[in-house]
Chain A
Amino acid sequence: MIRLVPNQSDSIQRAPLVDFTFNGRIISGHMGEAVFTALTRAGVLHLRDAPADGAPRGAFCCMGLCQECVVEIAGNSVESCRQPLSEGLAVLSVTRGKHG
């Protein structure tokens, strides 16, 4: 079939793969990419639960504003759409919500 917009996915060179974990599960992604893109490629879209109703949420705005992609790394809340991936990064879902 003729394609006016060619598929260029094979001509993209990426940094080497490194392993990291998401809630303990080992996942690999390209060194330096956003944590969220590595997770997306691995099919992990559900990043956290909404605190008010517990519904599943994942990255939404992809530009660091909506805070839907926030994960916990070393106890800090970080936007996974802005956090570069490094080897061995331990990424957790934020499970803060209702208490008290």
Chain B
Amino acid sequence: MAEPFDIAVLGAGPAGANAALEASRLGCRVVMIDEQSHAGGQVWRAKSAAVLSAPETPETSAGNQLRKAVSQSAIAHLGDARVWQIEQVPEGWSLQILVGGRSETIIAKALVLATGAREFVQPIPGWTLPGVIGLAGATSLMKQALMPPGHRTVVSGSGPLVFFVASEIRRLGGTVAAVVTPNSRMDWIGALPSMCRRPDLMWRGMVWMADLMLARVPIFWRHAVSDVRGEDAVSSVQISKLGPDWTPLRTVKTVTSDSVCLGNGLIPALEAAQLAGLEITHAPELGGWVPKVAKDGSTNLRGVFMCGDGVGIRGASAAEIHGKLAGLSAAEFTGKQVGLQKNRLYARYAAASSFGLAMTALSVPRPGLEKLATPQTIMCRCESLSRDQLLHEIEAGAASTNAVKSGLRAGMGPCGGKFCQTAIARLVASTKGLEEGAVPPHTARPPLRPVPVSALAGDFAYSDLPIPKPAPL
């Protein structure tokens, strides 16, 4: 095998790419791995090869700039490569990577985890129907394919993403049937002081809203989609008024649509951190469970650094700066002189975080939102488990996410619990009268993404199989 890298960076979003760039600039041998083909992460996801040209947006230009910097650097960038396992080895850290249908090993002295976030979607009746996609998922679709999710879309969810998605749908030629958000106008006014730090983003947000109003798109403040109807796919949605803690009060309207975007904030993607062995704590203001990571990206595991939304949802700008910090820390670990370079970044990191955290605060679901799930609502999509089934298991004594998983297979399906465990942990907590922080996610296990047996097996010869001596007779 080739000589180990100085630093392996997992994730090529604003955090990971900036970590890689900083470390590479200081002379480290850096490999950066991402399952996307190009750098950019979620916020600056590149357009697919099928889009030959398209008008620039702030996202595409930021992304293009980052991609250019990466391509001009000495970073070894592995795209379309999925990290499925992380292990400590004598040389440092080893990553198992699924690339081109094969599993390969990469070893580095230091590891920077920049895995970003995924979204939380509150389960509601009908959310499993084709035509319902995640709200953040919709941005991903539109960034790569430059097409709207359908002809007539209801856009529903908390925080700023709901207005961005509605606006992008209109830009790409779709129709927004309604914008539905549990936030009130007052929630937004409350966030103004933090927003003033980013006049550019505030201005964009105002343009989106004004455009929706001019186009007479109904905006339902302090409402949520409470039911999605349809046979084989979405045909209509019901919209309900919410109380102050977002408890659904009454249905107010039915809207026809062929597509729905649903999302209730982001949660840090921490499975990779858990596999590496980082401790996690519950921090609702950061989006849920987060690994323990210092502001310079260092952790209490030797040679492991982490940055970006994976350590708490602070947004893209904070992720960029945090990435630089983690890159510097990792370079320092490998013996490079970084002097005072980190010190200059802390204040910027704090300022960027303050904006990001205000957006997170708008997005994090309030306790009443859970009540959108009825007894028959599917909570675990992979195994089609209803809230009732889960409740029954919890009431019969299963008092942890691991116990519920064992008893019902909730979280054992192909998604590995990525889209049910937050809601299930909340259900365990509320049923057992526990704090959410007392109900951690189930044990993280490899592979981080499904891996074909053939990739694991590789080109083996039977005689090469290390068959140890048989068990005693």
Cβ of A66 and Cβ of B48 under 8 Å apart? no
Q: Are A41 and B50 in contact (CB under 8 A)?
A: no
B195 within 8 A of A: no
Give me 30 A-to-B residue pairs in the complex whose CB atoms sit less than 8 angstroms apart, sorted by A's number: A3-B211, A7-B172, A8-B171, A12-B53, A12-B54, A15-B50, A29-B50, A30-B50, A32-B48, A32-B49, A34-B48, A40-B150, A41-B147, A45-B130, A45-B233, A46-B232, A50-B128, A50-B382, A52-B383, A52-B384, A52-B385, A56-B129, A58-B129, A60-B137, A61-B119, A62-B133, A64-B449, A65-B449, A67-B414, A85-B50
Interface string of A36-52 (1 = CB under 8 A from B): 01001100011100111
A47–B50 Cα distance when bound, in Å, is 21
- What is the minimal beta-carbon distance from A55 to any residue of chain B, in angstroms? 6
Chain A: interface size category: 35 or more
Q: Does B8 contact A (CB under 8 A)?
A: no
Q: Say what secondary structure dominates the interface of chain A.
A: loop
Q: Does B252 touch A at the CB level, under 8 Å?
A: no
Residues on B with C-beta less than 8 A from A56 are 129-130, 232-233
CB-based contact B50/A32 at 8 Å:
yes
Complex Cα–Cα for A44 and B343 (A)? 53
> Inside 8 A of A59's CB, which chain B residues have their CB?
130, 133, 137
CA A65 to CA B416, docked complex, whole Å: 9
**A31 at interface by CB-CB < 8 Å:** yes
Q: Which of B172, B210, B384, B452 contacts A4 (CB 8 A)?
A: B210
- Which chain B residues border A12 with CB–CB below 8 Å? 51, 53-55, 146, 172
B419 in contact (CB, < 8 A): yes
Chain A contacts of B415 at CB under 8 A?
65-68
CA distance A100 to B450 in the complex (A): 24
Known interface pairs A55-B384, A58-B233; A46-B130 also in contact (CB < 8 Å):
yes
* Complex CA distance for A85 and B48, rounded to whole angstroms: 11
Asked if B172 and A8 make an inter-chain contact with CB atoms under 8 angstroms apart, the answer reads yes
In the bound complex, do residue B232 and residue A62 qualify as a contact, i.e. CB atoms below 8 Å apart?
no
Residues of B within 8 A of A (CB): 35, 42, 48-55, 118-119, 128-134, 136-138, 140-141, 144-147, 149-150, 167, 170-173, 207-208, 210-211, 214-215, 232-234, 378, 381-385, 413-415, 418-419, 449-450, 452
State how many angstroms separate the Cβ of A17 from the closest Cβ of chain B.
10
Taking a contact as CB atoms closer than 8 A, the residue among A8, A10, A46, A66 that contacts B419 in the complex is: A66
Q: Is the CB of A34 within 8 A of B211?
A: no
B382 and chain A: residue at smallest CB distance: A67
> 1/0 per residue A1-26: CB within 8 Å of B?
11111111111111100000000000
Q: Contacts A13-B53, A15-B50, A67-B382 given: A37-B145 contact, CB under 8 Å?
A: yes
In the complex, chain B residues whose CB is within 8 Å of the CB of A33: 48-51, 145
Q: Are B210 and A34 in contact (CB under 8 A)?
A: no
Note all chain A residues with C-beta closer than 8 A to B51.
12-15, 30, 33
> Shortest distance in angstroms between B146's beta carbon and chain A's nearest beta carbon?
5
**Is there contact, CB below 8 Å, between A5 and B171?**
yes
